[in-house]
Amino acid sequence: MNASPLSPAQPQSGQPQTGQQQGSTLYGGVTNRRVTVRDLAAAKQRGERWAMLTAYDALTGGVFDEAGIPVLLVGDSAGNCHLGYETTVPVTMDQMVMLSAAVVRGTKRALIIGDMPFGSYQESPAQAMHNAARLMKEAGVGAVKLEGGERSARSIELLVEAGIPVMAHIGLTPQSVHAFGGYPVQGRGDEAAHQLLRDAKAVQQAGAFSVVLEAVPAELATQVTEQLAIPTVGIGAGAGTDAQVLVWTDMAGMTAGRVPKFVKQYADLRAVLGDAAREFATEVGAGTFPAPEHTFK
């Protein structure tokens, strides 16, 4: 059975799914194409929640794809989580194109979303169009993400008109870290809550297929989710959103030091990798590696 690009994923019988999430029609359905933004819209209709992770390279992207994560974001969090910067601000378009292309190459099923870095879209809708097209053409992503609500609505409209699916990002927008003076929770108090709701409605009206709500009170995120027809993706926004995203290095315990309150660490990869590296060095020092089974005769 071939999937129509216009129809939501339908379960196929008799085909075991690698990494299929329990009860996930979104990922565990049609297996011969990538998840699309239409599938995400249909998931909201069904009330099906989904998970999104960041990925910055082909290898980890492939692991998450096989694990059944339906949507992977090549986030500009690559700045602090992959490239060694302190914030996302220095990340460039060339870097995002390179990282996004790697994740696309390493995956088969997931929808890959390329993040638009600081300075790549704020100047004008035309600048946003130019750089979003680079992510689509040079990296092969299926959608782009950009920060901002009302202030980004014109750019979103232009991209959507041009056939580029856009995920918006409101609440705490990390590219504004210097204006915020850090990473404070957003949407607290009546005026801020109303602004968040206006931002959410503005990006939906502009044609965004989904919106990330970052670091906002859970009750407000739930209200936004109930009032929008498009899926909301929460990070530090409580359990009431349609989907959840985490930065993979936080989720898997690779991040050094403190992680934000909203992060759950599902593994301790930093310890596992560190132990493996130390054991390797010890065995090299002791002359026990390579052993005969690792040696050509």
113 conformational bin, left if phi > 0, alpha if psi -120 to 50, beta if neither: beta
Closest CB 33 distance from ligand KIV, rounded Å:
25
Residues 175 and 88 sit within 8 Å (Cβ to Cβ): yes
Would you call 275 helix, strand, or coil by DSSP? helix
β-sheet bridge partners, residue 233: 212, 243
Residue whose CB is nearest to ligand KIV in the complex, by number: 75
Q: Is 279 a catalytic residue?
A: no
Nearer to ligand KIV (CB atom), residue 76 or residue 242: 76
- Joined tokens for residue 184: 């404070």
Would you call 168 helix, strand, or coil by DSSP? strand
**Token pair 């002359």 is at which residue?**
287
Q: Which of 86, 150, 157, 214 is catalytic?
A: 214
**Token pair 């906002």 is at which residue?**
216
Q: Is 115 annotated as a binding residue?
A: yes
Nearer to ligand KIV (CB atom), residue 35 or residue 113: 113
Residues at the site binding ligand KIV, with contacts judged by CB under 6 A: 54, 73, 75-77, 115, 169, 212, 235, 245, 247
Report the largest interatomic distance among the alpha carbons of the chain, rounded to a whole angstrom. Answer: 74
Closest CB 150 distance from ligand KIV, rounded Å:
19
Closest CB 267 distance from ligand KIV, rounded Å:
18
Residue 99 to residue 55: CA distance in whole angstroms: 9
Closest CB 288 distance from ligand KIV, rounded Å:
41
CA angle 281, 284, 288 (to 5 degrees): 130
Residue 123 to residue 275: CA distance in whole angstroms: 47
Q: Is 297 annotated as a binding residue?
A: no
Q: Closest by alpha carbon to 134, among 96, 166, 104, 107?
A: 96
Closest CB 167 distance from ligand KIV, rounded Å:
9
Q: Is 145 annotated as a binding residue?
A: yes
Residues 37 and 111 sit within 8 Å (Cβ to Cβ): yes
Nearer to ligand KIV (CB atom), residue 128 or residue 247: 247
Residue 244 to residue 73: CA distance in whole angstroms: 12
My answer on whether omega of the bond before 290 falls inside 30° of 0, hence cis, is yes
Nearer to ligand KIV (CB atom), residue 139 or residue 212: 212
- Binding annotation for Mg(2+): 76, 115, 147
Active-site residues, by number, are: 214
Residues of each annotated binding site for 3-methyl-2-oxobutanoate = 76-77, 115, 145
